[in-house]
Structures are given as structure tokens and as C-alpha cells.
Amino acid sequence: MPGPPAANRAATRPRPHISGQGGERLLAHLMAMDGHSEAIVDLAAIRSNVAALAEHVGTAEVMAVVKSDGYGHGLVRTATAALAGGATWLGVGHIEEALTLRAAGFTAPVLCLLASPDAPHRDAIAVGVDLSAGTASLIRQIGAAAGTIGVAARVHLKADTGMSRGGAPMARWPELLDAALAEQAAGRCEIIGIWSHLACADIPGHRSVDTQLAAFREALGQAERAGARPAVRHLANTPALLTRPDTWFDLVRPGGGVTGLCTLPGGPPGWLRPAMTVRTHLVQVKRIARGTGVSYGHRYMTGTETSLGLVPLGYNEGIPRAGTNTAPVFIRGQRLTVAGTVCMNQCVVDAGDLPVEAGDEVVLFGPGDHGEPTAQEWADLLGTVSYDIVTRFTGKIPRSYCGVTEADVAEAAVAGAGGTAVLPAAARARGASDHAEVAHPRVQEV
């Protein structure tokens, strides 16, 4: 897998993060956080990931896909860090998310990737949010909404080149083009982009990538012959960005890569840094005899006298129930496995003779620096993708941020990102002493 130049690769692996990308002073880092359940998001990692991705694709622009609350990392914070890292576009799922970004003061182009006939198109058009259209009827609807406020809608025409999800199949592409060009001629829309999405970019060598690429080129050719002059043509998600330069065109759309994740087999390359750490602490420890059943259904039996630790997180908080007897955690420098059924709000770990105590930190996953599991390892063990792991914790446990710069704090204040920033003096008073300059701005968005 190609990677950025060595100098950049080194720059993307700071540990711990004590300086920001532009040399800004960081106000907090991981070790400053205290012990209750939380998802800690490393904004320095997001900035450096985006910078590395941007460098990797050279002249192509980067749209940071921050849908689904920034893949669970926080919409506004992730968008801010991604733009600071060099992204020039933002991608969201729904118009509501785009409006949140505009309300927070973001002026960068924002594309709403999902299209729906009953979406509030007029609200989006009024604040310059780009809309996707994959049917002639939708483009006319968008044009009509634009007509009511006298502002041309910025649209990206979506070709279904083989994903068979949204977008116009090739047989309907000329019809979509005609409708869009008619709306454009009437001043109700501007064709900003033409795009498609790959079905199998994370299956290396899958021949559908070539087939979709050829279909996309054909769609672009037809559009050009019909008179469309889109500013951006885009196709690549994170796996395509990492493995297929021929899919980059004018703009790439990484989502997982922004947060240091990827769905390629084996996960992200080493020069991307997973930004989320989820941790909690043991709330009870007890000694249990050999041959004792643990948790619902007694799906785990102790093989010997052992110490059981109680973890105050379950499937309601984000641990998949499929983590029963499988999910790895990290306590006192050791990997342990969830013992027995994951319950709604709790699960149990068998610590053997490890001298664990109530209050011990339990890291579910993180960047892997200290031997803790990664979201990729969770995904591999549970038969899913890392995106499915990190998005599960959204809104269920508090979220805080490290790798925060003074610029982030200032922007959050302007953008009204919510939460509070504890200033350095206050943080020192709270004992955030592992680095002289470290503060602990706890910016919680849930």
C-alpha cells in the first residue's frame, strides 16, 4: 500500500501529542484524562490524518466525510480538525447535519451525500449546501425549491456505476443529465459535481472497481458531450484513496481515513492514527471459585479460582452483544477478554490472578500505542468493520477531546460546539500534571 513520504509518516505518529500540526501548543492529551467512562477523541490525530491523506493524493482536493456525527467522533470537532488538516470540502449524510455545520460558522463547501425527495432542499440551498441528485424528478424538485428563493442550487449528479444503491443507473443517466441541464439553463441549479461510489474498493483486486471506473468515465464523457462542465468529479472513499490513484479525479471523499480507520483487510496503514479511545474503569472486583458460571446464560465458566472484574458498559453503551466471550479489553497492561454474555449496561472480565482493583482503568480500544486493542481488532474479532465499532458509542457515553489546540478552543467558542473548556490554570488545579503545559479542556458534546 503506498504511503506518504517518510518525513510525513514520522510527523503523523506523534506520541504523546504535545504539539499541534502548525507547531501550535496543545492544551490536552490522552494521559491528562480522568477515569470514568468516556470516548476520548484525539483531534491532533484527525488533523495529521487529513494532512497525510491530502499529501498522499497530491493535487486532488479532500472532502472529509463527517456524516454520522463524524463517524462518532463529533460532527463539529471532527470537521474543524479536518479543515485544519487541509480538507477543503465536508461531506455529510443529511441536510440537518449540513445546516448544523453552517450554523456553527463553517463556510467550506458541504455536500449532502444522501438524497431524498422530502428533504428540506430550500433550507439547504439558502445556505449554499450542495445537494446530490440521482433522478430527473429529484433534480426538478430541487430546481423548484431553488426557484422559490431565487438562488441556484449547487448540485452533484450521482451516477450509479455499479453499487446499485443511490444514483442514476447508466440507462437513466442521459435523462438525469437533460433534466439537470434544463434546470441549469433556467438558472435554478448549477452542476457543481458529478460523482459515484465504489462498492468493492476495500476488496483488493475486485474487478468491479475497474468496471465502475469505466462506467464513471463513460458517464463523465456523456455529461461533457451534453454540455455539463462540473468543477469536481469524485469517486474515491478511503480504501480507493489508499489503493487506487486512478479513482482520485478532482476530489477524494475519505471518512474513515479522517479518523484513522479503514475497511481494507488489515485496517489502516501505520501512517493513519486511530483517533478514538474508549475507556472506563472497573466498578467491582471479586474472587470467585473454579467452575462458577458468569453472566446471563452462564456462557462462561471459570476454569480455576479467579478474579472477576465488573465493567460498567454493555450493549446499550456500545459494546456489541457479539462481544460475548470475545471482546478484548486492556487492564493493568494486560489484554483480557469479556467473560460471558455482554449485558445491557455491564460485562465481566476474568482477570485470573492479575491484582486488579475496583477503579482500575479499562481501555476497550485505542490507537494501540500501549498494547491496547484497536477498533480494527474489535471489528476483526466480531466480524464487522471498525466504523461499526466506533459509531456505536455516540451519545451513550461522554465524549472528550485531546490534542486540542488553543485554535480549537477559540473556534469552538465561535462555533458554539458546546461543552466547556477548562483553562490551563484550572486544569493544573485539578492535577493534570503529566505535562507542564497540559490543560484538560473537556469538551463534551453528548
Catalytic residues: 67, 296
Set of cell numbers at residue 112: 449532502
Q: How far apart are CA 315 and CA 342, in angstroms?
A: 7
Cβ atoms of 436 and 96 within 8 Å: the answer is no
CB of 235 to ligand PLP, least distance (A): 9
Q: Which residues bind ligand PLP (CB under 6 A)?
A: 65, 113, 197, 237-239, 253-257, 263
SS3 for 171? helix
CB of 39 to ligand PLP, least distance (A): 18
Nearest C-alpha neighbor of 231 from the set 255, 207, 249, 214: 249
Q: Which is nearer to ligand PLP, 295 or 386 (CB)?
A: 386
CB of 294 to ligand PLP, least distance (A): 36
> Strands 89-92, 110-112: parallel, antiparallel or unpaired by DSSP?
parallel
Q: Which is nearer to ligand PLP, 77 or 197 (CB)?
A: 197
CB of 254 to ligand PLP, least distance (A): 4
CB of 159 to ligand PLP, least distance (A): 12
Q: Which is nearer to ligand PLP, 64 or 180 (CB)?
A: 64
Set of cell numbers at residue 243: 489503493
Output DSSP code: residue 19: B
Q: Which is nearer to ligand PLP, 197 or 279 (CB)?
A: 197
Cα three-residue angle 408-418-272, rounded to 5 degrees:
45
Q: Which is nearer to ligand PLP, 33 or 275 (CB)?
A: 275
Q: How far apart are CA 271 and CA 262, in angstroms?
A: 12
